[in-house]
């Protein structure tokens, strides 16, 4: 098998490798699923982490679901299992996908369209209520969130398809929210073009299916790349796709669930708050975003719901940018720091060949500067890898340092670096608004609420050196609230799972900024009353009264 063509093959491979826990006991999707993953994250070393399959799921309203929930970190097992290759082959697989893409193959029939609900029958099985979408951070989230959701859109001009993982918020049986992440993301570029023409944006939301396309969808490829073609290049054969029933889009034929529909380009609705990073980081507070109206739901008869709480980035994309696109053969490895510690995704370590000239080392590090406005029209994703990754620290180390061992990286920092001589500060205007350290939340809210306006000024940010102490009230720590984690701990012990050695923090808690509105939303959510929250947000919609935004800016050649 070149790749796992469906979620069931992947789950079977995880089970065979001893990386799967199946729980058949009754579990509440709104309060009891995600604490199991966070307990594992804070109580077990990464080598012992596993995926979970919950087969007996209900919700806080008393509804019982006939679908299982596969709950895992986004890439649990990918290095050795998900890509069906050895760990040392992962980076080369991804690089080959970039260099030798294989376009997807269109098929006439598909497992994901075994059941179709549309038109008058759209809500015949409840719409979103048919699917056990978990609440990721019970006690904080205002409703169920899809964090392993792959959004597919097309560029109106070129027809190029974009596949990206953006969190998706359940508002109503036929309505979803989204967080589009920034004006440089493909989905927002497509949305702004639709706004300019005064039409809604067609989109498809894909859940489950081949893990390979989820892998490439999280890699922030250049906007003219077809992620499904890159996925095909990685596995050496086309990914099967099928035409959607109600929109002009093709989706993976072996997915589990697909939601077809349109994004409004006339209104924005409050989305969030929700945790964007890993355990122990902070909630990304709510902001005004477009919303999605569902026109059609297709799914397998035996659909499995794929959920995730957190995930890690790919090593191959960054290595390809440095070694091949920027002609840096001295770069041996490049990766985010391997750690379950809060904030670990903000650190990149780069291993260079022994004896590399210092000018080459600095050329590598300088690649993480931001392009000037005059350079924005270039292929910034190939030339400036810093555009690809939400990083604060970039560290070059020698060949004798294992960049997967955080202790060795800290050892290199402690013994091979003088800050006054060996560090530089890079400042830039961020286009991602997730970090609580950019501005106090009271000021950040103004930026977020106006982020789609052409005159918005994004916060200034920096790389390499920042002050990481609390200087203003922060949102809650991004894990389920203590009472839900304690309930999860009881269930963990009841299932006879491995003994935990919990590290602080192992539950969410307040740090000074938690508006009463969001607290009330979260309490309704765990009682299963999140549609009431969706209706409240419906009443607070705002009209879009500003012109479309072009990225890059209109008129630049």
Q: Residue range 87-95: average pLDDT?
A: 71
Q: Residue 489: its pLDDT value, please?
A: 95
CATH homologous superfamily, domain 7-307: Electron Transport, Fmn-binding Protein; Chain A (2.30.110.10)
Distances (CA, A) of 86 to 89, 90, 506: 5, 7, 32
Question: Given pLDDT bands bounded at 50, 70 and 90, which one contains residue 437?
Answer: confident
**What is 42-84 written as a DSSP string?**
HHS-GGG--EEEE-SEE-TTS-B-SS-EEE--TTTTIIIIITS
Handedness of CA 12, 16, 22, 24 (dihedral sign): positive
Region 406-427: mean pLDDT is 79
CA–CA separation, 273 vs 523, rounded Å?
Answer: 13
Location of each CATH 3.40.1670.10 domain in the chain: 316-388+393-424
pLDDT of residue 231: 85
Tokens at 494, concatenated: 């009841």
Q: How many CA atoms lie within 13 A of 186 on its CB side?
A: 31
Task: Give the pair of three-digit tokens for residue 529.
Answer: 């009353």
- Length in residues, the chain: 557
Q: Which helix (DSSP H) or strand (DSSP E) does residue 12 occupy?
A: helix 7-16
- Residue among 528, 534, 546, 532 nearest 63 (CA): 528
CA distance 91 to 318: 9
- Cα 137 to Cα 309: distance, rounded to the nearest angstrom: 9
Rounded to whole angstroms, the Cα distance separating 442 from 472 reads 10
Q: Residue 79 CB: number of other CB atoms within 10 A?
A: 17
Determine the Cα–Cα distance for residues 350 and 334; give it in Å rounded to an integer: 4
Q: What is the C-alpha to C-alpha distance for residues 40 and 50, in angstroms, rounded to an integer? A: 8
* Rama region for 532: left / alpha / beta (φ>0; ψ in -120 to 50; rest): alpha
Compare 412 and 246 and report the one with higher pLDDT: 246
For 550, which DSSP code?
Answer: -
- Residue 233 phi/psi, 5° resolution? -65, -35
More confident residue, 162 or 313: 162
Residues spanned by CATH 2.30.110.10 within the chain?
7-307
Mean pLDDT, the chain, integer: 82
Q: How far apart are the C-alpha atoms of 483 and 131, rounded to whole Å?
A: 25
CA 90/CA 103 separation, integer angstroms: 20
Per-residue pLDDT at 555: 62
Within a 10 A sphere around the Cβ of 457, how many other Cβ atoms? Answer: 9
Fold adopted by 316-388+393-424: UbiD C-terminal domain-like (3.40.1670)
Q: How confident is the model at residue 374 (pLDDT cuts 50, 70, 90)?
A: low
288-307: average pLDDT: 94
pLDDT bracket for residue 380 (50, 70, 90):
very low
Helices first, then strands: H and E counts in the chain: 15, 28
pLDDT band at 405 (very low <50, low <70, confident <90, very high): confident
- CB–CB of 308/72 below 8 Å? yes
- Cα dihedral across residues 177, 182, 186, 191: positive or negative: positive
Q: Residue 234: in which H helix or E strand, if any?
A: helix 227-235
**Tens-place pLDDT, residues 161-203:** 888 888 899 999 999 999 887 777 788 889 999 999 999 999 9
Tally of CA atoms within 13 A in the half-sphere of 437 that contains its CB: 15
Lowest mean pLDDT among 56-65, 75-84, 95-104, 250-259: 75-84
pLDDT at 312: 43
Phi then psi for 526, rounded to 5 degrees?
A: -75, -15
> Integer distance in angstroms from the first to the last C-alpha of the chain?
46
CA 164 – CA 215 distance, rounded (Å): 10
3-state secondary structure of 330: coil
Residues 317-331: tens digit of each pLDDT: 677 778 877 888 988
Instruction: Return the percentage of the chain with pLDDT > 90, whole number.
Output: 36
Residue 46 and residue 43: Cα distance in Å, rounded? 9
Token pair listed for 300? 């397998």
d(CA 550, CA 196) in angstroms, rounded, equals 9
What is the predicted pLDDT for the residue at 451? 83
Q: How many CA atoms lie within 13 A of 11 on its CB side?
A: 18
Kindly report, residue by residue over 254-280, the tens digit of the pLDDT: 999 999 999 999 999 988 887 765 444
Which residue did the predictor score with more confidence, 289 or 372?
289
Question: Which range is least confidently modeled, 71-80, 100-109, 353-362?
Answer: 71-80
Structure tokens that stand for 58 in this block:
């209900």
Q: How far is Cα of residue 371 from the mean position of the Cα atoms in its chain?
A: 25
Buried-state track 289-313, b at ≥16 Cβ within 10 A, e below 16: bbbbebbbbbbbeebbbbbbbbbbb
Per-residue pLDDT, 74: 54
The answer to whether 318 and 348 are in contact (CB under 8 A) is yes
pLDDT value for 466: 32
| 57: β partners | 27
């Amino acid at each position: 098998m070149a790749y796992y063509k469906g979620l069931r093959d992947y789950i079977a491979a995880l089970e065979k490798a001893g990386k799967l826990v199946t729980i058949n006991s009754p579990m509440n999707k709104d309060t009891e699923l995600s604490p199991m993953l966070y307990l594992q994250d804070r109580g077990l070393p990464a080598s012992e982490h596993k995926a979970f399959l919950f087969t007996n799921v209900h919700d806080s309203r008393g509804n019982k679901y006939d679908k299982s929930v596969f709950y895992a970190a986004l890439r649990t097992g990918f290095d050795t299992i998900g890509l069906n290759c050895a760990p040392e082959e992962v980076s080369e697989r991804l690089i080959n996908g970039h260099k030798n893409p294989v376009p997807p193959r269109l098929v006439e029939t598909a497992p994901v369209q075994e059941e179709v609900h549309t038109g008058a029958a759209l809500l015949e099985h409840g719409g979103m209520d048919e699917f056990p979408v978990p609440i990721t951070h019970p006690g904080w989230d205002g409703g169920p969130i899809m964090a392993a959701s792959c959004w597919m859109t097309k560029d109106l001009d070129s027809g190029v398809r974009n596949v990206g993982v953006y969190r998706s918020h359940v508002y109503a049986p036929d309505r979803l929210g989204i967080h589009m992440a920034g004006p440089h993301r493909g989905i927002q570029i497509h949305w702004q073009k639709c706004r300019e023409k005064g039409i809604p944006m067609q989109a498809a939301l894909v859940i489950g299916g081949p893990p390979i396309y989820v892998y490439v969808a999280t890699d922030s490829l250049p906007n003219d790349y077809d992620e499904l073609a890159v996925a095909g290049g990685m596995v050496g054969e086309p990914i099967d796709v099928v035409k959607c029933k109600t929109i002009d889009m093709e989706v993976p034929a072996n997915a589990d669930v697909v939601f077809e529909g349109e994004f409004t380009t006339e209104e924005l609705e409050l989305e969030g708050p929700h945790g964007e990073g890993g355990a122990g980081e902070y909630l990304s507070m709510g902001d005004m975003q477009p919303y999605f109206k569902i026109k059609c739901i297709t799914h397998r008869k035996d659909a499995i719901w794929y959920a995730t709480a957190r995930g890690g980035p790919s090593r191959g994309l960054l290595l390809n940018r440095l070694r091949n696109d920027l002609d840096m053969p001295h770069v041996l490895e490049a990766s985010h720091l391997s750690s379950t510690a809060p904030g670990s995704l903000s650190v990149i370590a780069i291993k260079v060949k022994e004896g590399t000239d210092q000018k080459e080392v600095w050329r590598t590090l300088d690649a993480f500067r931001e392009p000037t406005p005059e350079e924005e029209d270039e292929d910034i994703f190939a030339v400036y890898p810093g555009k690809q990754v939400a990083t604060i620290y970039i560290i070059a180390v020698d060949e004798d340092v294992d960049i997967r061992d955080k202790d060795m990286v800290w050892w290199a920092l402690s013994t091979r670096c003088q800050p006054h001589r060996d560090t530089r500060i890079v400042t830039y205007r961020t286009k991602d608004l997730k970090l609580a350290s950019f501005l106090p939340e009271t000021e950040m809210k103004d930026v977020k609420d106006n982020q789609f306006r052409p005159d918005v000024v994004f916060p200034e940010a920096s790389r390499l050196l920042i002050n990481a102490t609390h200087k203003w009230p922060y949102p809650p720590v991004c894990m389920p609230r203590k009472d839900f984690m304690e309930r999860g701990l009881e269930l963990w012990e009841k299932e006879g799972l491995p003994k935990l050695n919990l590290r602080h923090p192992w539950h969410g808690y307040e740090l000074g900024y938690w508006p009463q509105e969001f607290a009330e939303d979260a309490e309704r959510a765990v009682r299963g009353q999140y549609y009431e929250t969706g209706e409240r947000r419906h009443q607070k919609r705002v009209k879009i009264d500003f012109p479309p935004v072009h990225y890059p800016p209109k008129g630049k050649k």
